[in-house]
Amino acid sequence: MKANILIIEDNEQNLYLITFILESRGHTIIPAMDGESGIRIAGEIKPDIILLDIQLPGLDGYEVAKRLRNNPDLKNIPIVAVTSYAMVGDKEKALESGCTGYIEKPINPDTFPVEVEKFLKNSEE
């Protein structure tokens, strides 16, 4: 399945890498560099999945996930935290804030697209 993927990520190198990996699989990438614009763009385009960095300027990823989940038009879109926050409890905090899943950085280019596509398949069921 080819998907429209919103990536909310403020680090240009991470954004470039994730974009490159997922576009090579045929997906369309829509970038947002901060939480506020990510929330706005999500409401406008209603992507198939949202990849969300937790450590963002302004609103952090936890708050972004909560706000996305409070929008009835977006509540069923998978949100996957893609983050370097990998301490005990970080995954649980991301899931409690509304994320569907969690992928640790640094990402593995070989497994990352499969991990993302797994969340897409689950949302179709």
Q: Where are the domains of the chain?
A: 4-120
Q: Residue holding tokens 């996957």?
A: 80
For residue 125, the model assigns a pLDDT of 59
Which of 55-64, 78-87, 107-116 is least confident? 78-87
- Give yes or no for residue 124 having a pLDDT over 80: no
Other Cβ atoms closer than 10 A to 72: 7
For residue 4, which of 17, 14, 25 has the smallest C-alpha distance?
25
The model's pTM is 0.95
CATH architecture of 4-120: 3-Layer(aba) Sandwich (3.40)
- Give yes or no for residue 37 having a pLDDT over 80: yes
Which two three-digit tokens encode residue 79? 């949100």
Half-sphere exposure of 100 (CA within 13 A, CB side): 23
For residue 1, the model assigns a pLDDT of 76
pLDDT, tens digit, 9 for 90 and up, residues 72-87: 999 999 999 999 876 7
